[in-house]
Amino acid sequence: MPATAATAPPTPTPPPSSSAADNGDASVAFDESKLIITGGSRFVALDDPDVLSASEADYLSEDALIMGISQNGESRAYPVAMARYHHVINDVVGGQPVTVTY
């Protein structure tokens, strides 16, 4: 049986509705590096989120769900409500890049 060359799958392209004109703001350009496209849904990843102390996060209720990470002596907590909106959070914790997903 002869060997066949493997071909890469086609690169997905954004759906036509992702153009800047669709959102009424022609000054906004489509930047596919900021989007994760899955099944037509578009989520904007949160890159380098602002860091607040626990006392500054007074908008969170006592029973708010959070996801946390501790690495190399540094800790972060990500509210699930924020992760639910973005689905992907890219951050640096303890000097190491991390991706938090929900």
Residues spanned by the domain of 89: 44-102
The total of structural domains in the chain comes to 1
User: Does 98 fall in a domain?
Assistant: yes
Q: Which of 75, 84, 96, 93 is nearest to 46 (CA)?
A: 84
37-58 pLDDT tens trace: 555 566 788 899 999 988 898 8
Q: Report yes or no: 65 and 25 within 8 Å, Cβ to Cβ.
A: no
Task: Give the model's pLDDT for residue 82.
Answer: 85
For tokens 């890159």, what's the residue?
47
22: pLDDT strictly greater than 60 = no
User: Does 81 fall in a domain?
Assistant: yes
Is residue 67 helix, strand or coil?
strand
Can you name the residues that pair with 68 across neighbouring β-strands?
Answer: 77
